[in-house]
Amino acid sequence: MLKHFVAPGIVLAALIFLPLVHSQTDKPRSPAPTAPGHDGWGRPIIPLAKDHKADPAPPHDISGTWEQPDASGNQVLGAKAAPEDGKPEHRLPYTPLGLEALNRTKPGNGTRSALPTEANDPVYSCDPQGFPRTDLHELRTTQILQTPQKVTILYQYNKIWRVIWTDGRELPKDPEPRWFGYSVGKWVDDYTLVVTTIGTDERTWLDRAGRPHSADLRVEERFHRADRDHLELTVTIDDPKMYTKPWVALDKFVMELQPSSFDVREMICSPSEFVQYNSLIGHTASDKDSH
Amino acid sequence: MRNKLAAISFAVIFVLAISVPLFAHHGYAAYDTDKKVTLKGTVTRWIWSNPHCMIQLDVTDDSGHVVRWITETENPTTMTRNGWTDKSIKVGEQVTVIALPVKNGNPAGRILEVVLSNGERLAGRVNPATQVKPDDSPKP
């Protein structure tokens, strides 16, 4: 007789307590002295307190809405772990072909920065950033959705998304190039997903500093969930045509988990807004004959 | 008289500040980062959009000529971290804009700070409290 009540009892208990478990993940955070802005719904973003003790990370799970705590994901001088700031330790190991390709790019930033109207950064005409530039420029609020077959990443900048297949498939042989390439992921431990991407479009730059890549580019991303509230991303570039050895572009870049109610602001490259920007200030600032 | 007073109060104050490198990193090809200008004027346009937000303002110079300046901040997402919203600036409002001037002498600048008519100050670039790094270059 008792047996008849066990299964329904478990279901009933689950129905009662699951919402409580869910609400715990949305518990209010300790208030911080300053709030770094607002989400898309106008609600303040509250960073984690410095003495915040996070729960352990759930295994094989990097889902959630992740926010850079200090806006350093913008990476205005190029890949954060190797910015183009003139420091010798940040000089990349270019091959002769890589150096040639680099000299064709005219970024708006870094030691080689050009005037606004002379720069030839493809995103200035609202071309897709492509991959891996989505990690290496304007890496802002990042939403990660996960099923057993795939991890889907939704990026704030330009509201674009990409898929990482985790269903065990192999990378394609000689694929047709795509803006965001082809990605497969594998859990190397309970908290680390390693993603490999190939087949990216050569028209894209690696970062805002105009670092080039070839069709042979192979990118490794390591998503490591250090605890429940922190995700670290490391990106390594391997492109023997352009660089004599692999180099780390992003080194344990930290993102903080946001409440599931977090609404992501729109941030979209609009061609008409660029035209307006150019007509009002871009050309005014670049005009050499005005002085 | 009142108009005259108003004109005087709107008068441009160009302050070429002491030559201190303000933001010594690169990415300001169009801007003179060793100088700054202080502009008092009336907002004629406020554009809250990508790639960068812009304030256009009419400034009267010492000889009574009205000069239309265009000044830029950063993108709206970054600006919200500095406390700005799409309603921070109002057309017709008298404001003081402190900016880096462009090198070519045109009336254009990169906003460092805005002082509103009620005295409120808005950081155009870095809010030290939140350690927000600037989105540091104009895009064409």
Locate tokens 């869910």: which residue?
A: A22
In this structure, are residues B24 and B35 in contact, taking their beta carbons and an 8 Å threshold?
Answer: no
3-state SS of chain A? CHHHHHHHHHHHHHHHHHHHHHHHHCCCCCCCCCCCCECCCCCECCCCCCCCCCCCCCCCCCCEEEECCCCHHHCCCCCCCCCCCCCHHHCCCECHHHHHHHHHCCCCCCCCCCCCCCCCCHHHHCCCCCCCHHHHCCCCCEEEEECCCEEEEEECECCEEEEEECCCCCCCCCCCCECCCEEEEEEEECCEEEEEEECECCCCCCCCCCCCCCCCCEEEEEEEEEECCEEEEEEEEECCCCECCCEEEEEEEEEEEECCCCCCCCECCCHHHHHHHHHHHHHHHHCCCCC
User: Span B12-16, mean pLDDT?
Assistant: 37
Angle (nearest 5°) at CA B92 between B87 and B97: 75
B30 vs A contacts (CB less than 8 Å) = 115-116, 285-286
Average pLDDT, chain A: 87
Question: Residue A217: pLDDT above 50?
Answer: yes
Q: Which of A277, A288, A290, A291 to mutate to test the interface with B (most CBs of B within 10 A)?
A: A277
Residue B47, strand partner residues: B54
Distance CA B119, CA B129 (A): 20
* pLDDT value at residue B138: 32
SS3 state at B88? coil
User: Span B126-131, mean pLDDT?
Assistant: 39
Q: Please report the number of interchain residue pairs, chain A to chain B, with beta-carbon separation below 8 angstroms.
A: 145
Distance CA B33, CA B27 (A): 10
Name the H helices within chain B.
2-10, 76-81
Locate tokens 């990660």: which residue?
A: A144
Question: Residue A29: pLDDT above 50?
Answer: no
Interchain proximity B26–A85, CB inside 8 Å: yes
Question: Residue A24: pLDDT above 50?
Answer: no
Q: Where are the domains of chain A?
A: 62-112+129-264
Distance CA B55, CA A267 (A): 19
Q: What is the pLDDT of residues B50-107, one digit of tens each?
A: 999 999 999 998 899 999 999 999 999 888 888 899 999 999 999 999 999 999 999 9
Locate tokens 């680390």: which residue?
A: A192
How many Å from the N-terminal Cα to the C-terminal Cα in chain B?
44
pTM (2 d.p.): 0.80
Question: Residue A135: pLDDT above 70?
Answer: yes
Q: Which of A39, A68, A77, A109 to mutate to test the interface with B (most CBs of B within 10 A)?
A: A109
Q: Which of B25, B35, B100 to mutate to test the interface with A (most CBs of A within 10 A)?
A: B25
Distance CA A161, CA A153 (A): 5
Angle (nearest 5°) at CA A18 between A12 and A21: 150
A35 vs B contacts (CB less than 8 Å) = 130
CA distances (Å), origin A15, targets A5, A12, A18, A30, A104 = 15, 5, 6, 29, 61
Interchain proximity A85–B25, CB inside 8 Å: yes
Which is it for strands A150-155 and B54-60: parallel, antiparallel or unpaired?
A: unpaired
Distance CA B69, CA B60 (A): 10
CA distances (Å), origin A289, targets A114, A278, B33, B70, B104 = 16, 17, 20, 18, 8
Distance CA A67, CA B121 (A): 27
For B138, the closest of A35, A74, A285 (CB atoms) is A285
Average pLDDT, chain B: 76
Looking at CA atoms only, how far is residue A138 from chain B in angstroms? Answer: 9
Question: Residue A42: pLDDT above 70?
Answer: yes
Q: What is the pLDDT of residues B103-119, one digit of tens each?
A: 999 999 999 999 999 99
A267 vs B contacts (CB less than 8 Å) = 50, 75-77
ipTM of the complex as predicted = 0.77
Interchain proximity B105–A290, CB inside 8 Å: yes
Q: What is the pLDDT of residues A204-215, one digit of tens each?
A: 999 999 999 999
CA distances (Å), origin A124, targets A51, A121, A128, B26, B117 = 41, 6, 10, 18, 35
A277 vs B contacts (CB less than 8 Å) = 49, 51-52, 54, 72, 139-140
Interchain proximity B132–A71, CB inside 8 Å: yes
Q: Which residues of B touch A (CB under 8 A)?
A: 25-31, 47, 49-52, 54, 56, 70-72, 75-78, 80-82, 102-108, 127, 129-140
Residue type, B41: G
Question: Residue A120: pLDDT above 90?
Answer: yes
Interchain proximity A71–B78, CB inside 8 Å: yes
* pLDDT value at residue B93: 96
